[in-house]
Structure 1
Amino acid sequence: MSDTIRPILVINGPNLDMLGTRQPEIYGSDTLADVEALCRRTAADHGVTVDFRQSDSEAEIMGWIKRARGTASGILINPAGFTSTSIAILDSLLIFDGPIIEVHISPLFRRDAFRHLSYVSKAATAKIEGFGIAGYAFAIMRLAELAKLAA
């Protein structure tokens, strides 16, 4: 692993700490600990590290994003319930100076109509949805590639 490659910031929004028990018919049986293990394993396989976080607080997520400027090589964000509601998170992401990949475990386009809009997508470099937790691995792989190109 290169010492010059900054970590990838992985942000998980509200209620993702309840994965595995919350609506398994939509989100599956994997837990947030499983997601973290997958992210760390994938990152290590691709020569990068991750800073893995979860919060139900919009303000806390905004703070992490703002502090990531200059310290993270990229951001993987699953904004969860803030996807369709948070212009403030969008504004924070627009400040970030690196790639951003938005990830959703379930396919938003098959969910309630109000979930189809994503403010986060307006700042995202790419969006992955509907692949379960494997979407996190795809995003880590791509962000690792981009980090190596930028290093």
Structure 2
Amino acid sequence: MKRPLIAVLNGPNLNMLGLRQPDVYGHATLDDLEQVCLQAAERLDVTIDFRQTNIEGELVTWIQECRGRADGIVINPAAYSHTSIALLDALLAVGLPTVEVHISNVFRRETFRHHSYVSRAAIGVMAGFGVRGYALALQALTDMIEDEDQQ
């Protein structure tokens, strides 16, 4: 049986992890984050496609490319969470199970961060667990994919 493929998509400024506001986002770098995801994927027996971009349209294209290719999406849309109807529309169009991830607890931050357009397309949201939130999101998504396969 083929290993499920999960796209792990990251939005703007996540390439600055470890440098940008370590009091909020911690000291882990994007490379560290990718290693967390790869280790979780190995443990869960899934394949991941890990990507990061600062460009909204590129993120939309990557989401669209998941249709027919991936079994699910873990996405940290970063600031686009609060502004991008385009990401919401793309996620709804591909119809894949999606988990939204935020490294920080957005609900302990500025009020404009409390609303996410992307959440409307997500089956769940993981926020405030640092980079470990990605491993938790991968676990939850893998469990859901396996449950769907058994039905």
Same fold (TM over 0.5): yes
Give the 5 Å matches for 1:101-116.
Answer: 101-116=99-114
Residue in structure 1 matching 2:132, options 111, 131, 134: 134
TM-score (norm 1): 0.95
Unaligned runs of 5+ residues in structure 1 are none
SS state at 1:70 partner: coil
**Is residue 2:122 matched to residue 1:124?**
yes
Which whole-Å deviations, capped at 9, do the CAs of 1:17-49 have from their partners, x for residues lacking one? 000000001000001111100101101101101
* Count of equivalent residues: 149
SS state at 2:50 partner: strand
SS state at 1:83 partner: helix
Distance 2:134 2:22 in 1: 18
RMSD of equivalent CA atoms:
1.0
SS state at 1:30 partner: coil
Q: What's the counterpart of residue 56 of structure 1?
A: 54
**Is residue 2:10 matched to residue 1:12?**
yes
TM-score (norm 2): 0.95
Residue in structure 2 matching 1:71, options 44, 69, 72: 69
| Contact residue 101 and residue 128 of structure 1 kept, 8 A | yes
Distance 1:71 1:145 in 2: 19
Q: State the shift of 1:109 in Å.
A: 0.7
Residue in structure 2 matching 1:148, options 142, 146, 149: 146
Residue in structure 2 matching 1:96, options 90, 94, 97: 94
Q: What's the counterpart of residue 28 of structure 1?
A: 26
Q: What's the counterpart of residue 79 of structure 2?
A: 81
Which whole-Å deviations, capped at 9, do the CAs of 1:123-146 have from their partners, x for residues lacking one? 000001001111000001111222
SS state at 1:45 partner: helix
Unaligned runs of 5+ residues in structure 2 are none
Percent of aligned pairs sharing the same letter: 50
Distance 2:4 2:21 in 1: 35
Q: State the shift of 1:70 in Å.
A: 1.3
